[in-house]
Amino acid sequence: MKILIVSGFLGSGKTTSVVKIGKYLKDRGYTIAVLVNDVADVGVDGQVISENGLDSKEMPRGCICCTLKYALEGNIALIQAESDPDILIIEPTGVAFPDRIKEQIEKMDFGPEVTMGPIISLIDGSKFRHIIEHSEYAATKQMENADIIVVNKKDLMEKEEISAVKNVIRDINVDAEIFSISFKEKDLALIQFMNAVESWLGMEVQVSLSLEEIGSDCPDNMCAANDDHFDHFNVSSYADTYHIEHTIDTDTAINAATSIMKDLKNMVLALNPKFLGHLKMFLHTESVALRISVTSYLDNPEVEVIDTDISDHGEFTVFAAVTDVQRDDLAHIIKRSVMGNSSHLGISI
């Protein structure tokens, strides 16, 4: 089993790329599992990944780069015992430092069959300036030790901007392979990126069998101070799940979900007009699975309709992880935005 880490700040496109990478490698004949870590109590991305036909396991409530490191070891061991895929893709939270996760894994004793693949680090190129302005140290740290860096959302950038961003990244990490990609489009860069990932996966970098203890608590106060507040990006997070009582059609689902996310965004804007992060929602009814995202104060809700074979469980999850807003405020406004639209959905709480 080879382990591939796909990291990057909140909303940079990790889940979107994990689905693409996973499907690509699956088509190439590899068996794949995905381990996805969300900061809040209820995860969203595991559902999105499963709906896209990949085996996924979710680790909510914390960050695997620190507070959940023992759970990370347990989950990798479980995946190895249960399905032992050729490739395990790990999607950490948007506030994790991927080199720390790699370090933790290298200290775990899984035997010679478990080897490390590359660290891939994504950055939303269209918000590069904003992210660096807000959290230069942490954003830099996410890219410093990556093997492959992706300037994502190229479709939202001007050509000159792409080269300028790549130049800044080159100064941060002289060794990494750097790609500019849109995971929303089929372009040559995407094929080149997939080839690079596959060639990295062909390399045997054995996980050390050192008997060294798994490192004690985070040095330099770099990891999460607790489960939902991350000092280095100053991000708080909250998520809640609601049950839909009635059957609703696709249009109603899209309208209601978009309206909830618009209201939520406006309420976050009132608390922090320049917020960065990710507001996301996953809604599954009898007829449709929807994913809705807002990744900063600059965006409008983006709705993605996912073809689904999985039967209805009539639930939806609303998740918010944003900079410079209190967790209690997030909890409050998530509830308000859902309740304000509850007549469309027949929601029970």
Ligand X SMILES: Nc1nc2c(ncn2[C@@H]2O[C@H](COP(=O)(O)OP(=O)(O)OP(=O)(O)O)[C@@H](O)[C@H]2O)c(=O)[nH]1
- State the minimum distance, in angstroms, from the CB of residue 18 to Mg ion: 7
CB 145 within 8 A of CB 173: yes
- State the minimum distance, in angstroms, from the CB of residue 239 to Mg ion: 12
Q: Would you say 156 or 168 has its CB closer to ligand X?
A: 156
Query: Considering CB distances under 5 to 8 angstroms, the limit depending on partner class, which of Mg ion, ligand X, none binds residue 314?
Result: none
- State the minimum distance, in angstroms, from the CB of residue 9 to ligand X: 7
By CB under 6 A, which span of 147-155, 161-169, 240-248, 324-332 interacts with ligand X? 147-155
Question: Would you give the DSSP letter of residue 226?
Answer: B
By CB under 6 A, which span of 12-20, 98-106, 111-119, 334-342 interacts with ligand X? 12-20
CB 56 within 8 A of CB 49: yes
If one asks whether residue 153 binds ligand X (CB under 6 A), the answer comes out as yes
Q: Please provide the DSSP assignment of 80-97 as one string.
A: HHHT--SEEEEE--TT--
- State the minimum distance, in angstroms, from the CB of residue 33 to Mg ion: 16
Assign 307 to helix, strand or coil: coil
Q: Calculate Rg over the CA atoms of the chain.
A: 19
Could you give the C-alpha distances from 170 to 6, 15, 68, 220, in angstroms and in order?
19, 25, 31, 26
Spatial separation of the C-alpha atoms in residues 224 and 234, rounded to whole Å = 10
If one asks whether residue 295 binds ligand X (CB under 6 A), the answer comes out as yes
Q: Where are the alpha helices (DSSP H) in 52-187?
A: 69-82, 98-106, 128-144, 159-172
Spatial separation of the C-alpha atoms in residues 346 and 33, rounded to whole Å = 35
- State the minimum distance, in angstroms, from the CB of residue 285 to Mg ion: 22
- State the minimum distance, in angstroms, from the CB of residue 230 to ligand X: 12
If one asks whether residue 156 binds ligand X (CB under 6 A), the answer comes out as yes
Spatial separation of the C-alpha atoms in residues 108 and 210, rounded to whole Å = 8
Q: Would you say 15 or 152 has its CB closer to Mg ion?
A: 15
Q: Would you say 2 or 154 has its CB closer to ligand X?
A: 154
If one asks whether residue 162 binds ligand X (CB under 6 A), the answer comes out as no
Number of residues lying near ligand X (CB under 6 A)? 23
If one asks whether residue 152 binds ligand X (CB under 6 A), the answer comes out as yes
If one asks whether residue 301 binds ligand X (CB under 6 A), the answer comes out as no
Residue type, 44: V
If one asks whether residue 317 binds ligand X (CB under 6 A), the answer comes out as no
Spatial separation of the C-alpha atoms in residues 142 and 225, rounded to whole Å = 18
Task: Report the residue from 3, 8, 146, 323 that binds ligand X according to the rule CB under 6 A.
Answer: 8
CB 122 within 8 A of CB 8: yes
Binding residues for ligand X, rule: CB under 6 A, are 8, 10-16, 45, 94, 152-153, 155-156, 182-184, 278, 280, 293, 295, 302, 304
